[in-house]
Amino acid sequence: MLGVDISSTAVKLLELSRSGGRFKVESYAVEPLTANTVVEKNITDVEGVGDVIARVVARARPGVKAAAVAVPGSATITKVIEMDASLSEDDMETQLRVEADQYIPFPLDEVRMDFQVLGATEDTPDRVEVLVVASRTENVEMRADALEIGNLQAKVVDVEAYAMERVFQLVAPALPNADELETVAVFDIGATMTTLNVFHQGRSVYTREQLFGGKQLTEEIQRRYGISMEEAGLAKKTGELPEDYESEVLQPFKDAIVQQINRSLQFFYGSTQFNQVDYILLAGGSASIAGLPALIQDKVGAGCSLADPFAGMSKAGKVNVRALANDAPAMMIACGLALRSFEL
């Protein structure tokens, strides 16, 4: 399956293969979305997104049509419940449908629901913990429809947080002193949203989305230098800006990122039993600002680096290796979705 990540500003497509224990990037591409096609991770123009998916497919030329996409955590309701271990999957599904109104604040005909058995409960071995996830039907169908318009077939609609957890399992062993890292915070800094995922012993224990992202830097460039949003976005990428840009615009934005990270971590500590993180991993399109990991390490006091899910992977001949390296931090969710191909 292809991993297709629909963010607020771009569609990212990734195709992986596996030989033995090693993954290979077969194809990938990123295409920008027109403004307001997706607003805060909600699709507002299905046709527009579908057209961009068609373009990204034409660029990547993948070998398969089946795809996995994801809905954001803010568009899902999740609940861990206990059920009788002796129940079959069909019996569990029947029972969940009967009891759904206890967990889901919407009529059952307005949502798509799924569940996953997590394992036996600690104290009672004849009971199992079951993760129940639901999202409004329109969230799921809009993504499936957009893929169809782009000549792909939706095989899986996942949740972004679980895609991030899947790819985290891949990158975690390569982190410095990986064996000693109990709790790792992954900050996915997008254009308009920053998502914090905290993993403890490899498992997701906390997720939070907040409105903050690289668009604020683009808007400040536009305002200060009197240029259009498109020109500001381009100048941000090429670095062709006046001399005072570094000190007057970029540094204050980097400081704002550090402030947001500190604030998010305080929220995390305040609402859980945790009081520290051992490492910070930066993902998302706005994570690649030069010097950002070092600044965060200095100000927050935890080791910090850029996420690269492709570090241990081989690349097919048609893949632009340099472009992939630049895009790697922004490809985490697409990679987590593509990894669904290899789950039984």
What domains sit in the chain, N to C, each tagged with a CATH number?
76-137 (3.30.1490.300)
Residue 100: phi and psi, rounded to 5, are -55, -35
pLDDT tens track of the chain, all 344 residues? 999 999 989 999 999 999 988 999 999 999 999 988 999 889 999 999 999 999 999 999 999 999 999 999 889 999 999 999 999 999 999 999 888 888 888 888 899 999 999 989 888 889 999 999 999 999 999 999 999 999 999 999 999 999 999 999 999 999 999 999 999 999 999 999 999 999 999 989 999 999 999 999 999 999 999 999 889 988 888 888 999 999 999 999 999 999 999 999 999 999 999 999 999 999 999 999 989 999 999 999 999 999 999 999 999 999 999 999 999 999 999 999 999 999 74
pTM: 0.93
Contact present, 221 and 234 (Cβ < 8 Å): no
pLDDT at 130: 93
Axis-axis angle for helices 251-271, 215-225 (nearest 10): 150
pLDDT at 31: 96
Say how far apart CA 241 and CA 182 lie, in whole Å: 42
Measured between its terminal Cα atoms, the distance across the chain in Å is 13
User: The sheet that has 127-136: what strands, in order across it?
Assistant: 76-84, 127-136, 111-120
pLDDT at 106: 87
Beta bridge partners of 62: none
Contact present, 171 and 281 (Cβ < 8 Å): yes
pLDDT at 123: 86
Query: Where do runs of H (alpha helix) occur along 150-227?
Result: 160-171, 215-225
Say how far apart CA 248 and CA 263 lie, in whole Å: 23
Say how far apart CA 281 and CA 288 lie, in whole Å: 12
Say how far apart CA 62 and CA 68 lie, in whole Å: 14
Helix (H) or strand (E) holding 32: strand 22-32
Cα torsion 317, 322, 327, 328 to 10°: value is 70
Residue type, position 253, single letter: F
pLDDT at 344: 47
The number of residues making up the chain comes to: 344
Contact present, 212 and 193 (Cβ < 8 Å): yes
pLDDT at 102: 87
Tokens coding 255: 């400081």
Helix (H) or strand (E) holding 143: helix 137-149
